[in-house]
Amino acid sequence: MQTFTQLTSTVMPLPVNNIDTDQIIPARYLKVLDKASVAEGLFADWRYLSDGSPNPDFVLNQPLYQGAQVLLAGNNFGSGSSREHAPWALTGSGFRCVISTGFADIFNNNALKNGLLPLVVDESFFQQLLEKVQSNPKTEVTVNLENQTVLVEENNLSFEFEINPFAKKCLISGQDQLEYILSFEDKIIQFEQQTS
């Protein structure tokens, strides 16, 4: 897994609540057998017009926000299906962090396993950051995972976020979670013997 320590980047605003995984990656893009080819379906129904050309009104297609590695999205991001194709589509498109006031559980888990940081902020920070990036798309944030802070330098705006300590450790060290589980194989065997 790609590690995550610190990131400075511009921010792409998508202030819509309840963006579900069917919006992040519509089901017709789920027939693939790999992870890499999922990215072209990111936000497909919003991003492309009916003739398949890019929708110039959608933020992902706006030149001002190109290259952003941080997505700022409305509350309850990633609700709906368990498809891990959602974080794959985001990381495949260059995103390393999603900032929101809340994430759906399964999306949160899936993101963490792909080096994508789901960062929860409060309503007030969300609104202030949104205003900044909408009025000045060049606004940069610095996310520091070790200190658990997100900082908007030129405005002196900052927020201390919470993250589960194990998830933090895995992101920083790139710990492979399956390896971690398998390091307890003797206990798994013991458990199976006791319960069978």
Q: What residue ranges bind other proteins (CB under 8 A)?
A: 15-18, 20, 22-23, 26-28, 30-35, 45, 50, 74-76, 79-84, 102, 104-106, 109-110, 113-114, 164-166, 177-178, 180-182, 184-185, 187-188, 191-192, 195
- φ and ψ at 38, to 5 degrees? -75, -30
Report yes or no: 1 and 62 within 8 Å, Cβ to Cβ: no
Which residues lie closer than 8 Å to 96 by C-beta, 6 or more apart?
4, 7, 9, 69, 70, 115, 116, 117
Between 34 and 63, name the residue whose CB sits nearer to other proteins. 34
The distance of closest approach from Cβ of residue 154 to other proteins in the complex, given in angstroms and rounded to an integer, is: 25
The distance of closest approach from Cβ of residue 46 to other proteins in the complex, given in angstroms and rounded to an integer, is: 9
The distance of closest approach from Cβ of residue 9 to other proteins in the complex, given in angstroms and rounded to an integer, is: 23
Nearest alpha carbon to residue 100 among 116, 120, 127:
120
H runs (alpha helix) in the chain: 21-24, 44-47, 85-92, 105-112, 123-135, 165-173, 177-182, 185-195
The distance of closest approach from Cβ of residue 161 to other proteins in the complex, given in angstroms and rounded to an integer, is: 16
Between 10 and 110, name the residue whose CB sits nearer to other proteins. 110
How crowded is the C-beta side of 168, counted as CA atoms within 13 Å? 14
Between 8 and 62, name the residue whose CB sits nearer to other proteins. 62
Between 77 and 159, name the residue whose CB sits nearer to other proteins. 77
